Amino acid sequence: MTSAVTVQRHRPEDREPLLERYAEVFGEGLAQSSRERWKWQYEANPASLDGPEIWVAREGPEILGQYASMPVILWWGDREVRSSWGMDVFVTAAARGKGVGAKLFTAWADHVEVALGLGLTPSSYGLFKKLGYEDVGPVPFYRKILDGTAVAQRRLGPIAGRLAGPLITLAGYVLAPERPADSGDVTVESVETFGPEYDGLWEQARPSYAMCVRRDTAYLRWKYVDCPHRSYLIHEARRGGQLAGFAVSRIEDYRGLRLGWLIDAFARGDDESAFSALVGAVVASFRSQAVARAQAFSMHGGLARVLRGWGFTPGPSPMQFCVHVRQPAPSVLGRQEAWHVVFGDSDMDR
């Protein structure tokens, strides 16, 4: 069967048949969510130059699976390259175990200079490694308890949690005290959108990273302002009136616990004063909105130091990360502490 399988780029008439297959594999609820965000995710992306970057496996007229990706421009070492995040991949039950997944992965990776797989399922993670992708994950996870009583009540019940809560809060202050880096003369305020200055910030900050998705005005507006299924708060950092960085956050109620997510934070990689001011503003915002626990992912060493300075502690991370590179790049792969990867990357925060 697999000898007759072909993999081709998505065509407009493939959309509904793919969503029908998607519903068969993942359920109608997730398929409907995909329908609702299709235009934003696949057509409005400023890096999508010629339509959705989705690869479709077929045997004759029958669709066997897909590999959908999110194209981005990636700062890679000392230049910008075409790249993409792998996202929605599926193979129909009848086609599993017959090499269809490998064909899809290869078609996707061959299309870009750097292919990025983040937040992988166990099956995808295994296939990535089998195909020789560089295993660079998991992306470190950080958390900070802001309301020990709320966390304890979620775990222990209302009565025991009320008793244990103050002890948990005290333990947090003792074991992970807030000792933030000096934010100097950086000021932070909330804003509604990303202005033209963000193009200049990207040009000025990108050489301080070994790897980072282009965070210019067009990308940031698409990712965090125009997103149809999430609402974000944007904090903007300035030094002497000049734009120095930004942070993106949101709040959600998850299984009875109010969580605050630091989705993205960006400044020059060595500007820990700006990072500290931004993280501090986000934490203060969470406290004012009764968040019980703050959470963040960060691969970057400087941002991780700032998070620890604000009392965040590392926890187990489920965010596996694999990379496929066309050309050898030891100078980039060997500097992963200078990679900028956060929860806002790829489609992790759907």
Better-predicted residue by pLDDT, 131 or 240: 240
Question: For all residues of the chain together, what is the average pLDDT?
Answer: 91
| Same domain membership, residue 185 and residue 90 | no
Average of pLDDT values for 158-175? 76
Quote the domain boundaries for residue 14: 2-135
301 pLDDT higher than 90: yes
| Same domain membership, residue 273 and residue 165 | yes
| Same domain membership, residue 243 and residue 108 | no
Q: What is the pTM of this model?
A: 0.92
173 pLDDT higher than 90: no
| Same domain membership, residue 234 and residue 129 | no
160 pLDDT higher than 60: yes
pLDDT at position 92? 85
| Same domain membership, residue 86 and residue 231 | no
Residue 347 lies in a domain: no
322 pLDDT higher than 90: yes
pLDDT at position 1? 42
Residue 52 lies in a domain: yes
pLDDT at position 178? 87
| Same domain membership, residue 128 and residue 195 | no
Q: How many domains does the chain have?
A: 2
Q: 109, 135, 161 — which closes off a domain?
A: 135
Least confident of 86-95, 266-275, 317-326: 86-95
Better-predicted residue by pLDDT, 204 or 171: 204
Residue 335 lies in a domain: no
Average of pLDDT values for 111-119? 93
| Same domain membership, residue 232 and residue 162 | yes
| Same domain membership, residue 37 and residue 178 | no
User: Residue 249: which CATH number?
Assistant: 3.40.630.30
Share of the chain above pLDDT 70, in %: 99
Residue 63 in contact with residue 10, Cβ under 8 Å?
Answer: no
Q: 135, 159, 177 — which closes off a domain?
A: 135
Residue 327 lies in a domain: no
2 pLDDT tier (thresholds 50, 70, 90)? very low
pLDDT at position 166? 82
Average of pLDDT values for 287-291? 96
313 pLDDT higher than 90: yes
| Same domain membership, residue 216 and residue 130 | no
Amino acid at 12: P
Residue 286 lies in a domain: yes
